[in-house]
Structure 1
Amino acid sequence: MSAINQMSELNQLLAQEHVLHLSVPQLVEKILSRKEGTLTDRGAVLATTGTYTGRSPQDKFIVKDHISESDINWGSTNQPISEQTFIHLYHKVLDYLKAQNELYVFKGYAGADDKYRLPIQVINEFAWHNLFAHQMFIRPDKQELSGHEAEFTVVSAPTFKADPKQDGTNSEAFIMISFKHRIVLIGGTEYAGEIKKSIFSVMNYLLPKKDILPMHCSANIGQEGDVALFFGLSGTGKTTLSADPARRLIGDDEHGWSQYGVANIEGGCYAKCINLSPEKEPQIFDAIRFGSVLENVVLDPDSQKPDYDNTSLTENTRAAYPLHHISNTVEPSIAGHPNAIVFLTADATGVLPPISKLTKEQAMYHFLSGYTSKLAGTERGVTSPQATFSACFGSPFLPLAPSVYAEMLGEKIDQFDTNVYLVNTGWTGGAYGEGQRMKLSYTRSMVHAALEGELNSVETYTDSVFGFQIPLHCPGVPDDVLIPRKTWNDPSAYDKKAQELAAKFHENFKQFTHASTAIKEAGPAFGRNN
């Protein structure tokens, strides 16, 4: 079936009476009346997602056709599926949705810069998923809505379960992207994050073709107009560190860097809220109110107050809320070119320094490496931190080869003379289970010092294993904390763990055969010639 006929079928579905375009208050009413969720004491909607409490990478596919065949970096991350299989499942899902009592549609944009934003629509079986989409993407005003024509559509049917034998999937769940038909098809999973991340994958495919670098990062701006980017996987602190009362938030997760500067791809935030408190993260805590969506958080049955310390459902508890729920945001969420970039890692080995300044070559090496420890709950089946390398700090969402994004970043670092720092928000004083997590107050002080230029003239120490330039002093941080080896009770145990981690870096980097000699030599000094 041709793309035109498929789109016609989609329009027929959207024209039916049971397909509703609702406001936030109307969606909340639907959620409660349909018993999809409950209200917290502050008016946020709380929903649970059943079996799937995180992304399901093994169930994500890209349709392989004449449009995508030569572009996509095929492999275990970008699994191919045939166009015939996609269309077969697409018809089954649409027939399934036509039989539902009600469906919900959101029309909006991905991309705050109107020079390259993508008009999208999201069709949901669940009202709470539609509220999620309404808060996560960019909402059009009445004039924009009247002229809105979607260029990409997400079709989400969480209660439709695929039959792997008949439908060609790996399980009952599936997330399929067709760049030819411009459709994302989601089924079998109630985890709302799949909606958000599928559109990010779409933007990671489309934007480089316009010479725009899509980035898995948060961004904020200081009083002097200085822009900072924070790269890192879920759980490393992007949302927390970018929500700084002294700086205005541009966005917490996804951005594009064009010739004009930085622009948010989204209109909301999707924050992890494990152990959330008003003392540690007041902006995020206060943002969770009427219109917000909580996922898999446990409520006190009497007070209806969220218990953010309760991880009985998952450690990947989440809060989705619009940007305007945070008081000091930039609107529209666009800004100039970044003055500083911070690579965040939650190192479970306790080896990496809490902060170090990177040369351009080191920046490229660590951008391509994208090292962190995958934290519990972010993906299904992950119950304790695991060392992982995710190219460009966002490998699961990169349809193109990592080198495409890395080369674009290197060019922009050169062009705009951007400082780059590596910050470890993970463990210190020992590995996971022996040491302790880096204090958030220390990390905030280090990041503040880096962004304010307070580390530019500080004496540094060269790490013998990794070659990092580590500052010996930082306002608000004890000196001993800055040198990780000094925080361990047994320095020889630190040396052994550091050498083990260096070997993992070298082994992972073997895949980047086209990297220049200068970038390869910017990796750990220990074991480089092994």
Structure 2
Amino acid sequence: MLTTTNDDRPGRTVGEASSAPPTEPQLNDRELLDAALGAGEGQRTASGAISVNTGAFTGRSPQDKYVVDEPGSMDAIWWGAVNQPMPEASFDHMLSDVETYLAGQQTWLQRLAVGADPIFQYPVHLTTERAWVALFARHLFIVPEAPANGRDPITVLHAPGFKADPATLGTRSSTVIALHPTRRIIVIVGTAYAGEVKKSVFTLMQYLLPKREIATMHCSANIDDSGQSTLFFGLSGTGKNTLSNDPRFRLVGDYEHGWSDNGVFNLEGGCYAKTINLSREDEPGIYAASTRAGTVLENVVLDASGNPDFDDDSLTENTRSAFSISAMPNAIASGLAPHPSRIVFLTADATGVLPPVARLSRAQAIGLFLLGFTSKVAGTERGLTEPEMTFSPAFGSPFLPLPPDRYAELLAARIEEHAP
């Protein structure tokens, strides 16, 4: 009996016999690109990138995200619409089924890391049934030169072809993104959108690092010629990536950072840029990186010559490009920056109630950080087609496992100490 994956490729049900080859060892970028193209997972562009269609899911599915209700973290989690509880017994049942399912598929392993500061770095072990997702992960996370430190790894099982049973698990649908905070396990099923891998790891880091008094931030960062750094907070689609990638500045990271006693550090090793209406003239660095060999393009339509049509939104407005930060000529290889001199909050104000620019006091800044007044941008979540006014605490509430006050407390302490 066959099921159908969300990216329109056949998958197997649990327990079905399989003659799939064994799990592939860790392959490099070129090997994964060739494997993905050879398996028909995407199309090669004229410049040697790969364009993939993620099927029904072209953005995150926040209504299908769950956090395991388990003794080690239950008293700390911000329970509610953002973090829906899943009983640990249900998680273990699903985990066993997914492990059985993946054992019958050809899978791709990657041993990566997250956290540019070695003191706060964690190993990431990914198993996926899609070669292109393994390539995506190599671009977005850190590829360590040596095995990561001895900390327990964050384990990610990615099985887009597996359909969860809502009746058994008590979930909304057959698509599930489930995080076990204490055991550091992430299980993603029923969706091929690779952004779920990236954001789930970030969510888990936002549980782990605050326990070590690190301010975790959904922001981008860059450094000017004088060595001063700037943080740009905002929901996806508000301009973090574009502003931080300004070629006049040095890029630290485009999405996720930590702020410790030592300064700011990138959590990742790559960029995940929105590409709708991307042009060489307006964003030359991102354009060049998005058209280079080996880049992963999500839901970007190709023209008859195999070139990406970045103006085509027929699949989604949330077209994306994933590439290593080393593809940006102005990037800082270490991913480290000094304590910030400036903090900018970007609000996509669909109502026009805020002034275009305002300078805030420290108290006002923390107040706005907690409110997170902004708009969700079309395409970044499933079913979102128009800008939608929202309050998103910390300018990233979908990725907060802890109450917003905890992140505000940590940020306020850093601001008070370093006075940006």
Q: Which residue of 1 aligns with 2:409?
A: 407
Give the C-alpha shift of residue 184 in structure 1: 0.2
Residue 63 of structure 2 is aligned to residue 58 of structure 1? yes
Confirm or deny that 1:95 pairs with 2:95: no
* 1:37 paired residue number: 42
Q: Distance in 1 between matches of 2:406 and 2:252?
A: 25
Residue in structure 2 matched with residue 279 of structure 1 by the alignment: 281
Per-residue deviation at 1:21?
A: 1.3
Asked if 1 retains the 8 angstrom alpha-carbon contact of 2:123 and 2:149, the reply is no
- 1:296: which partner in 2? 299
1:115 pairs with one of 119, 125, 134: 119
In structure 2, what residue type is equivalent to 1:39?
Answer: R
Normalised TM-score (structure 1)? 0.74
Q: Distance in 2 between matches of 1:220 and 1:42?
A: 28
2:23 maps to which of 15, 18, 21: 18
Aligned to 2:336: 334
In structure 1, the partner of 2:11 is: none
Cα distance between partner residues in 1 of 2:150 and 2:31: 21
Distance 2:257 2:273 in 1: 16
Which SS does the other structure have where 1:240 is aligned? helix
Residue 108 (structure 2) pairs with residue 104 (structure 1): yes
Aligned-residue CA RMSD (Å)? 1.2
What residue in structure 2 maps to residue 270 of structure 1?
272
TM-score (norm 2): 0.93
CA deviations 1:129-185 (Å, max 9, x no partner) are 1001110000111xx138777521000000101121123221111000012322100
Distance 1:387 1:325 in 2: 34
Query: Separation in 1 of the partners of 2:406 and 2:248?
Result: 34
Query: Secondary structure of the equivalent of 2:133?
Result: helix
Q: Which structure has the higher relative contact order (CA within 8 Å, separation 6+)?
A: 2
Q: Secondary structure at the match of 1:364?
A: helix
Shift of 1:19: 3.2
Q: Deviations over 1:56-75 (max 9, x none)?
A: 00100000111111110111
SS at match of 1:80: strand
Structure-1 separation of matches of 2:98 and 2:170: 14
* Post-superposition CA distance 1:3-28 (Å, at most 9, x none): xxxxxxxxxxxxx9433311100001
Cα gap change, 1:402 to 1:238, in 2 (>3 Å): same
Read off the aligned partner of 2:96 and give its amino acid letter.
H
Which residue of 2 is the match for residue 511 of structure 1? none
Query: Contact conserved, 1:121 with 1:150, CA < 8 A, in 2?
Result: no
Q: Which residue of 2 aligns with 1:81?
A: 86
| Structure 1: distance between partners of 2:253 and 2:151 | 25
Give the alignment partner of residue 239 of structure 1, picking from 228, 238, 241. 241
* Corresponding residue pairs, total: 399
Letter in 2 for 1:256: G
**Structure 2 unmatched ranges of 5 or more:** 1-20
Paired position in structure 2 for 1:10: none
Partner amino acid for 2:129?
Answer: E
Q: Which amino acid aligns with 1:189?
A: T
> How far apart in 2 are the matches of 1:270 and 1:93?
27
User: Does residue 46 of the first structure (1) align with residue 51 of the second (2)?
Assistant: yes
What percentage of aligned pairs have identical amino acids?
A: 51
Post-superposition CA distance 1:473-492 (Å, at most 9, x none): xxxxxxxxxxxxxxxxxxxx
